[in-house]
């Protein structure tokens, strides 16, 4: 049994054509069948069945009543353990619920489990997880492919039909890139639209929660539920949240779409550019005006990001000291030794690398040369977008420089791995919203995504254009 | 080469992460190539640019500074690897 959309399943529930128990059983069966893909860090049938009993008591007007949702294991959940895919948080049971997951629970969603990710969301292939790789459900048997990352488990869960939507977080592309690799829709909203309360912090000035789904309408339904002000996150914006799904409108007449010349990168496959061109032509046909633009500081986005994100991470991850929760190395004789051994054994290689880079760029004598310099370049990158959006409503680019690559392919060279985020990082630095939707395939039949970027808090415009483009493949 | 083994070990000490010799050598290579790569930012003239401090475009609301008693100390302590009489316990600091 496959459900195509939230609205379809919701109407089956409303007409009593399917019970919540049947929905739970359907998804439990699917998840068990796909166990080999290692999509979930936490999956417990009893927990699902217990939720069903609670959700059954809710009134039918709850917008997500009975809708199966998977949660990235970076969101704290009271009812399920939270690991951030790290040994250092093994056996951690949060005493509180994240803002985003609480909102989903309030509307009656059924959490099917917690999905795999790169350790503390640091990675682009879901291969730095302490709990092993996730395999892209679109792989053929001989060559297992990466699902992208860091929210690879959440993207794969939607692609493998193990839920109708999932939560992700995006710091430099961690929703959009895996969405592209797995052929699903993924939206990273404006920085501050969704509260970061209860999300294990990676880089606080960049982290933002978002959604994976099978289609644009479902993404808009889920985003309007998880968005909103929260006084426990001081960067959470107090803006009114539009009813995105009700206002979806595929009419693009009068809209101007910017095509940035800096996103034509050397060495990128022709197929990616073809997909990009097809999307440009389609938007034009639908009435939009195409404008060729320049975002001159684009090439500096990645090095800027790889100073700022590790710097913030080194500060945020200082809390994992073996005292209050999670793993503690037990042979230590002194307090300092306990800290050092705990962190040495508890963190994986990529996390240690980023903590050390972050510590270095923030250390005395280097702060101005690295961190302050990066914050200044970040300002220029953000200004590029502000200037451009004076003449454009949206910007269209490819999402990722390649389709899903074989597992472990890029592991030994960190910079090569970082290049995965070349098209997604600039928007993260500027705090603007972006969506990736599947738009065509490469020679071997793997999905390729395109990315739409919009002004701060203009998610509606993004949804509308994505909704229009999505019709090309229906 | 920006970093040498001494610097790596000094940073590791600051970050409270102990490194084996092999790990230190691996990280030295990776971190030097990453630091060389970010050097390209020096091409950008930022003399008259204010560093970006807050990316949010909306006014951030303030809240009243009031204590809220959620009294979950027992629950919180449950997650601790070692506890004693309502406190987190750590290896002895003072002899």
* CB pair distance less than 8 Å for B57 and A456: yes
In 3-state terms, what secondary structure has residue A144? coil
**pLDDT value for B54:** 82
Mean of the pLDDT values across residues B46-60?
Answer: 84
**pLDDT value for A410:** 61
Question: Does residue A23 surpass a pLDDT of 70?
Answer: yes
For residue B48, give how far its alpha carbon lies from the nearest alpha carbon of chain A (Å).
Answer: 9
- Closest residue of chain A to B9, computed from CA coordinates: A356
Mean of the pLDDT values across residues A188-202?
Answer: 97
| Cβ atoms A402, A272 nearer than 8 A | yes
Residue A414 forms contact with B (CB below 8 Å): yes
Question: Does residue B57 surpass a pLDDT of 80?
Answer: no
Give percent of chain A with pLDDT exceeding 90.
92
Give residue-wise pLDDT tens across range A285-339.
999 999 999 999 999 999 999 999 999 999 999 999 999 999 999 888 999 999 9
A53 class by beta-carbon count within 10 Å (0-12 exposed, 13-18 middle, 19+ buried): exposed
CB neighbours of A368 closer than 8 A, spacing ≥ 6?
none
Give residue-wise pLDDT tens across range A165-187.
999 999 999 999 999 999 999 99
Residue A1 forms contact with B (CB below 8 Å): no
Contacts of B12 in chain A (CB under 8 A): 356
Contacts of B60 in chain A (CB under 8 A): 192, 234-235, 237
Residue B67 forms contact with A (CB below 8 Å): no
Residue A366 forms contact with B (CB below 8 Å): no
**pLDDT value for B62:** 80
Strand A447-454: give its sheet, edge to edge: A40-42, A110-115, A68-72, A165-170, A208-213, A185-188, A434-441, A447-454, A394-398, A256-260, A289-293
In this structure, chain A runs to a length of: 474
Confidence of residue B1 (pLDDT cuts 50, 70, 90): low
Mean of the pLDDT values across residues A114-123?
Answer: 97
Q: How high does pLDDT run on average in chain A? A: 96
| Cβ atoms A124, A177 nearer than 8 A | yes
Give residue-wise pLDDT tens across range A252-297.
999 999 999 999 988 788 999 999 999 999 999 999 999 999 999 9
Where do the domains of chain A lie, and which CATH numbers do they carry?
Answer: 1-474 (3.90.1300.10)
CATH no. for B5-43 = 1.10.20
Which residues, numbered 336 to 365 in chain A, qualify as contacts with chain B under a Cβ-Cβ cut-off of 8 Å? 336-341, 343-344, 347, 349, 352-353, 355-357, 359-360, 363
| Cβ atoms A326, A320 nearer than 8 A | yes
For residue B45, give how far its alpha carbon lies from the nearest alpha carbon of chain A (Å).
Answer: 9
């Amino acid at each position: 049994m496959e459900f195509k959309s939230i609205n379809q399943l919701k109407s089956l529930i409303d007409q009593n054509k399917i019970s919540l128990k049947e929905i739970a059983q359907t998804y439990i069966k699917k998840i068990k069948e796909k166990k080999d893909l290692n999509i979930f860090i936490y999956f417990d049938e009893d927990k699902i069945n217990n939720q069903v009993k609670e959700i059954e008591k809710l009134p039918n007007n709850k917008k997500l009543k009975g809708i199966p949702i998977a949660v990235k294991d970076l969101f704290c959940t009271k009812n399920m353990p939270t690991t951030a895919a790290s040994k250092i948080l093994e056996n951690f049971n949060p005493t509180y619920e994240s803002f985003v997951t609480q909102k989903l629970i309030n509307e009656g969603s059924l959490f099917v489990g917690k999905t795999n990710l790169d350790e503390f969301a640091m990675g682009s292939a879901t291969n730095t997880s302490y709990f092993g790789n996730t395999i892209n459900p679109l792989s053929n048997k001989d060559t297992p492919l990466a699902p992208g990352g860091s929210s690879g488990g959440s993207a794969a869960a939607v692609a493998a039909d193990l839920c109708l939507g999932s939560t992700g977080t995006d710091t430099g592309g961690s929703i959009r890139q895996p969405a592209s690799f797995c052929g699903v829709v993924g939206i990273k909203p404006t920085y501050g639209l969704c509260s970061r309360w209860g999300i294990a912090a990676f880089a606080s000035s960049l982290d933002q929660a978002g959604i994976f789904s099978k289609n644009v309408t479902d993404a808009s339904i889920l985003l309007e539920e998880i968005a909103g002000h929260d006084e426990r996150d001081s960067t959470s914006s107090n803006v009114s949240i539009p009813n995105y799904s009700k206002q979806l409108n595929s009419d693009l007449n009068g809209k101007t779409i910017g095509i940035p010349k800096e996103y034509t990168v050397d060495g990128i496959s022709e197929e990616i550019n073809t997909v990009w061109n097809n999307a440009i032509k389609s938007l034009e046909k639908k009435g939009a005006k195409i404008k060729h633009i320049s975002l001159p500081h684009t090439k500096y986005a990645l090095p800027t990001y790889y100073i700022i994100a590790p710097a913030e991470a080194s500060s945020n991850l200082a809390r994992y000291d073996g005292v209050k929760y999670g793993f503690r190395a037990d042979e230590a004789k002194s307090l300092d030794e306990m800290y050092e051994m705990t962190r040495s054994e508890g963190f994986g290689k990529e996390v240690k690398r980023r903590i050390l880079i972050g510590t270095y760029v923030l250390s005395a004598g280097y702060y101005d040369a690295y961190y302050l310099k990066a914050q200044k370049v970040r300002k220029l990158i953000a200004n590029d977008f502000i200037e451009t959006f004076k003449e454009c409503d949206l910007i269209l680019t490819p999402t990722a420089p390649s389709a899903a690559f074989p597992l472990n392919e890029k592991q030994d060279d960190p910079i090569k791995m970082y290049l995965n985020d070349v098209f997604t990082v600039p928007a993260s630095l500027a705090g603007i919203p972006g969506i990736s939707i599947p738009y065509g395939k490469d020679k071997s039949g793997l999905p390729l995504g395109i990315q739409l970027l919009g002004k701060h808090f203009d998610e509606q415009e993004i949804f509308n254009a994505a909704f229009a483009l999505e019709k090309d493949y229906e | 080469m920006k970093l040498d083994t001494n610097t790596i070990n000094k940073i590791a000490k600051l970050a409270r992460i102990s490194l084996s010799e092999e790990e230190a050598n691996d990280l030295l290579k990776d971190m030097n190539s990453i630091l060389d790569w970010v050097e390209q930012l020096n091409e950008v003239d930022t003399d008259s640019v204010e560093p970006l401090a807050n990316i949010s475009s909306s006014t951030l609301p303030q809240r009243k500074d009031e204590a809220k008693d959620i009294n979950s100390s027992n629950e919180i302590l449950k997650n601790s690897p070692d506890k004693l009489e309502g406190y987190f316990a750590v290896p002895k600091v003072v002899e």
